[in-house]
Homo-oligomer: A and B are copies of this chain.
Amino acid sequence: MKKIDGWVTTPQGFLAAGVKAGIKASGNHDVAVIYSTVPAATGAVFTQNKMCAAPVLVSRKVAAKPYAQAIVVNSGCANACTGEQGLKDAESMQAQAAELLGVEPEAVYVCSTGVIGHFMPMDKVAQGIADAVDAMDESEGESCAMAIQTTDTFIKHAAYEFEIGGKTCKIAGIAKGAGMIHPNMATMLTFLTTDAAVAPDVLKRAVKAAADKSFNMVVVDGDTSTNDSMIVLANGLAENEIILSEEHPDYPAFFEALLACAQDLAKMIARDGEGATKFLEVNVCGAATWDEAKTAAMAIAKSPLVKTAFFGKDPNWGRIVCAAGYSGAAMQPDKVNLEIGGVRLVEHGMNCNIPLESLKDIMEQHDISMKIDLGAGSEEATVWTCDFSYEYVKINGEYHT
């Protein structure tokens, strides 16, 4: 497996494009289409928010089928809390794209991201879909990625090449993240394409497993959105022997590439958390179960007190230990150890009295890792997050409804 530079159009047989349809006030790219020239096995996971948006309702039906062929997506309007009209609009996006692409409607996923509670400007959306289908090309992967962004400060894409059964396969993905990032599904929009041949049921389970170890381990502000979707299309054009079960000898290599791509994108989302000045890796070990390790890591990653401390470059380990303490995870207070940037600050639950000046260089860095041992078992989990800055408050206090 090797990392390559690529977009969703890098695997064989995928076309895409993003266009400017005037939905975003900024005038930036806001409608995109991703299309596989042949039907592709598909798997997807969606937000668990009970107020899920209309396009999620439509896309869940697509995900239930074995194969799909396209994704139509817009940014600037979430089409959430829009009732019957919203559902009609999402279905209309699906039907229009299907007709233009010459496929069945249930082969087309629909995704939206942006402000909640506004009806879709359907004239603009329809024109955007028509333009995007016209513009579709192997060279338009970047414009497609641009069209799914909202408050993102950089474009998130990742790609890998891997060999299975003597064939070279590729997998690539794009994501949008920034605010409202929290587990319980993929918690953003992310689309992955691959030319590997994988049976639909195997792919569906693989997507769920990969989401749990990547996007579901990222937290920016603890809010789970109404629109989060992770969609994978696998069109088999690499002509490897199809992976029909998890026991197939090529499954591990395929899953490794899928997970690597998903984790790269997930970390980019944490790195681009709204207003972030730090990328934080929170590793919890010594937990009784993996779930408890994740619970403790999430409590630390979500704590505004921890996040503001890192923004202030203050190694306030008391807040980290405190957050683990209230997480509900089992811990042995007199066995707790904590390291920041590899420097042990707490041993057996007590301050090591390391001069905090000695952490100055670590706290100045953009990427900081912390490791807490709960002393209650042998399981571990890692969560990625960012700090809380003035800029976070500014972005979210001034974002227009």
User: A317's closest neighbor in chain B, by CB?
Assistant: B117
Contacts A51-B324, A326-B182 given: A81-B303 contact, CB under 8 Å? no
- Complex CA distance for A118 and B400, rounded to whole angstroms: 44
Copies of this chain present: 2
Residues of B within 8 A of A314 (CB): 397-401
Q: Is the CB of A303 within 8 A of B80?
A: no
Asked if A39 is an interface residue, CB under 8 A from chain B, the answer is no
**Listed stretches A130-138, A198-206, A221-229; interface member:** A221-229
Whether A401 contacts B317 by the Cβ 8 Å rule is: yes
User: Within the complex, what minimum Cβ distance (angstroms) separates A320 from chain B?
Assistant: 10
Q: Which residue of B lies closest to A388 (CB)?
A: B393
Give the 5 A-B residue pairs with the shortest CB-CB distance, closest first. Answer: A116-B318, A312-B397, A51-B325, A308-B396, A224-B326
Is the CB of A334 closer than 8 A to any CB of chain B?
yes
Q: A336 an interface residue at 8 Å Cβ cutoff?
A: yes
CA distance A63 to B268 in the complex (A): 49
Nearest-neighbor residue (CB-CB) of A318 within chain B: B116
A103 at the interface (CB under 8 A from B): no
Chain A's interface: helix, strand, loop or mixed, by majority?
loop
Closest to A401 in B: B316
Other-chain contact of A325, B50, B323, B324, B329 (Cβ < 8 Å): B50
The one of B115, B330, B351 that contacts A318, using a Cβ cutoff of 8 Å: B115
A83 near B350: Cβ-Cβ < 8 Å: yes
Question: Contacts A222-B304, A349-B51, A392-B304: A401 and B81 contacting too (C-beta < 8 A)?
Answer: no
Report A110-133 residues with CB < 8 Å from chain B CB.
115-119
Known A-B contacts: A221-B304, A223-B319. Give 9 more (CB < 8 A).
A49-B322, A50-B329, A50-B333, A80-B318, A222-B222, A312-B398, A312-B399, A356-B401, A390-B390
Cβ–Cβ contact B322 & A226, under 8 A: yes
Q: Which positions 374-392 of chain A face chain B at CB distance < 8 Å?
A: 388-390, 392
Contacts of A52 in B (CB 8 A): 325, 333
Q: How far is the CA of A223 from the CA of B306 in the complex (A)?
A: 9
With contact pairs A117-B346, A182-B326, A350-B82 given, residues A399 and B51 touching in the complex (Cβ less than 8 Å): no
State in angstroms the CA–CA spacing of A26 and B400 once bound together: 41
What are 12 of the A-B contact pairs (CB < 8 Å)? A50-B325, A51-B333, A81-B349, A81-B350, A82-B350, A83-B349, A116-B322, A117-B351, A180-B322, A224-B325, A316-B399, A392-B393
**Does residue A369 face the partner (Cβ distance < 8 Å to B)?**
no
A307 CB to closest chain B CB (Å) equals: 9
Q: Knowing A319-B116, A401-B315 touch, does A184 contact B304 (C-beta < 8 A)? A: no
Q: Is A311 an interface residue (CB 8 A)?
A: yes
The reply to whether B392 and A308 form a contact with Cβ atoms under 8 Å apart is yes
Option from B82, B119, B321, B390 in Cβ contact (under 8 Å) with A394: B390
Q: Is A179 part of the binding interface, using a Cβ–Cβ cutoff of 8 Å?
A: yes
Q: Check B396–A309 contact: CB distance below 8 A.
A: yes
Whether a CB of chain B sits under 8 angstroms from the CB of A348 is: yes
Q: How far is the CB of A346 from chain B (nearest CB, A)?
A: 7
* A116 proximity list for chain B (CB < 8 A): 318-319, 321-322
